[in-house]
Amino acid sequence: MVDTAELQARLEKGIDEQVIPVLMEYIRIPSLSPLFDPNWESNGLMEKAQDILLSYVRSLNIKNFTSEIIKEPGKPWMFYGEIQATSSNLGTVLVYGHMDKQPHFPNWIPGTGNTEPAIIDNKLYGRGGADDGYSIPSAALLIKTLQDMNIPHGRIVLIGESEEESGSPNLMYLISQLKDKIGEPDLMICLDSGAGDYEHLWITSSLRGVVAVDLTVSVLKNGMHSGDGSGIVPSSFRIIRQLIDRIEDVNTGRVLLPQLYADLTPADYEKAALVAKVLGSNLIDRIEWIGNTQAMSNDIVQLILNRTLRPTLSITGADGLPNISVAGNVLRPFTTFKLSVRLPPSIDSGVAFEAIKNELIRDPPYGATVEVKKVGAGNGFAPPELDQWANDALNHAGNIYFGSDALFFGEGVSIPFMGMLANMFPKAKFIVIGVLGPNSNAHSANEFLHIPFLKKILSSLGYVLAVHGQKTN
């Protein structure tokens, strides 16, 4: 049916000669997602970066391709592309990727940087290349390659978002405006996920939910000399520590709120054990530890369950604390922590927020003023079981390009709109996949795109789309 070797060879050539140079140009633009750049609309950087990607897509001259930019005042725009099926009795595939970027980080390895693309050891370094700039141009290359090889394909809808890193506040509204045009996809492919290693075809079987809050403890109208006030005025930092201890065990890291847990099934343990057998200690060894720091457990299965199906708390930011270089002997008036709480896929983020808020604000120590502000929330996602043809196609592709069946595993990250898409398009099945493997450092310094892995992923998806193109509705 499909010359899989030719498909791979064509895609590898296209990635090397077309997609990677386009991504390098894209990386050079210092654009940020709207949440991190209040001047995004006036400075035009985000639009400039995205134009680089979309100009490449248009340059491919894909047959029966139309596209438009969905714009509304004050909202980042969204790319919509549509490629007609080679036969009218074929289904629709919606392919999603995003084109906005996370903030910049210091301390990249020499010769690379946030906006300094470089290829080292078959890895393209630079902000946004792997998360998720590669997605739309790679998908377009794949479609063009199928057409050049005269491989039938279904109708394909491309969605390129501009604010995923900002929490996708407008995505579902914009997609709802296009619902009639999109129709009823029978398959959705999301290209913004991760992988357990670079040696297997990984399919995401679940995503965690998230609640992000700003927790503020205030004790004074103004700061005062610490020699004068300490011992009389309770420290806002000590109080905030007490509050956090209500929701997390300081010794184990276990979240203490029962409302944030879901029951684990024997199947959950079996899947975790399978992934643990494949990854082994690599799950721990991939992390760039400092000194003698150790993992929270030596039990790989438990670590996988912690990362994918249990709640966790991270402190991701703070206000009210001056830099050490300018920190005087001052008893500070307030302390603010940003808390990011990851949730099991089935836990409602609204219920979780109320549980977190109520526990933090009850009976404030010393009568201090405690404020909890929700800054973001989204439900997790456990996609419906794939149809047999899709499972078979993924396993076959895994064996062709990776030498083994595809592996299904849970991801610890959150993509809240996936559940919303499932509700909007209830007939669709999902393939959630991506290139963010070990040490790819999305959101941090030294983000990289593993080029050989991308080639295999794209070849695998090409095979799946080819099988879909043989399937009539």
Same domain, residue pair 10 and 122: yes
Please state, rounded to an integer, the average pLDDT across all residues of the chain. Answer: 97
| Contact yes or no for 309/344 (Cβ under 8 A) | yes
| Contact yes or no for 191/421 (Cβ under 8 A) | no
Q: For residue 239, which amino acid is it?
A: I
Q: What is the pLDDT of residue 268?
A: 96
Same domain, residue pair 311 and 449: no
- Phi-psi domain of 458 (left: phi exceeds 0; alpha: psi -120 through 50; beta: other): alpha
pLDDT band, residue 227 (cuts 50/70/90): very high
In a domain, 405, yes or no: yes
Same domain, residue pair 158 and 259: no
Q: Quick: pLDDT tens for 38-87.
A: 999 999 999 999 999 999 999 999 999 999 999 988 899 999 999 999 99
Same domain, residue pair 364 and 353: yes
Q: What is the CATH number of the domain that holds 369?
A: 3.30.70.360
In a domain, 15, yes or no: yes
pLDDT band, residue 457 (cuts 50/70/90): very high
DSSP 8-state secondary structure symbol assigned to residue 409: E
| Contact yes or no for 155/92 (Cβ under 8 A) | yes
| Contact yes or no for 341/311 (Cβ under 8 A) | yes
pLDDT band, residue 23 (cuts 50/70/90): very high
Q: Quick: pLDDT tens for 110-143.
A: 999 999 999 999 999 999 999 999 999 999 999 9
Same domain, residue pair 181 and 329: no
Mean per-residue pLDDT for 272-282?
Answer: 96
Same domain, residue pair 200 and 214: no
Tell me how far the alpha carbon of residue 188 is from its chain's centroid.
16
pLDDT band, residue 467 (cuts 50/70/90): very high
Of the three residues 313, 347, 378, the one that is the final residue of a domain is 378
Provide the domain limits for residue 110. 4-207+380-468
Same domain, residue pair 216 and 201: no
Does residue 30 have a pLDDT over 80? yes
Domains in the chain, number: 2
DSSP string, 107-132: -PPTT-BTTB-EEETTEEESTTIIII
Q: What is the pLDDT of residue 416?
A: 84
Of the three residues 349, 378, 407, the one that is the final residue of a domain is 378
pTM given for the model: 0.91
Tokens in use for 131?
């998360």
Q: What is the pLDDT of residue 74?
A: 87
DSSP 8-state secondary structure symbol assigned to residue 106: S
Mean per-residue pLDDT for 340-369?
Answer: 98
Q: What is the pLDDT of residue 1?
A: 72
| Contact yes or no for 186/92 (Cβ under 8 A) | yes
Same domain, residue pair 324 and 445: no
Instruction: Determine the Cα–Cα distance for residues 339 and 311; give it in Å rounded to an integer.
Output: 13
Q: Quick: pLDDT tens for 299-327.
A: 999 999 999 999 999 999 999 999 999 99
Give the C-alpha distances (Å, rounded to integers) separating 417 from 166, 169, 258, 385.
Answer: 12, 9, 25, 18
Does residue 473 have a pLDDT over 60? no
Q: What is the pLDDT of residue 371?
A: 99
Q: What is the pLDDT of residue 472?
A: 64
Same domain, residue pair 362 and 440: no
Same domain, residue pair 122 and 243: no
Q: What is the CATH number of the domain that holds 433?
A: 3.40.630.10
Same domain, residue pair 124 and 257: no
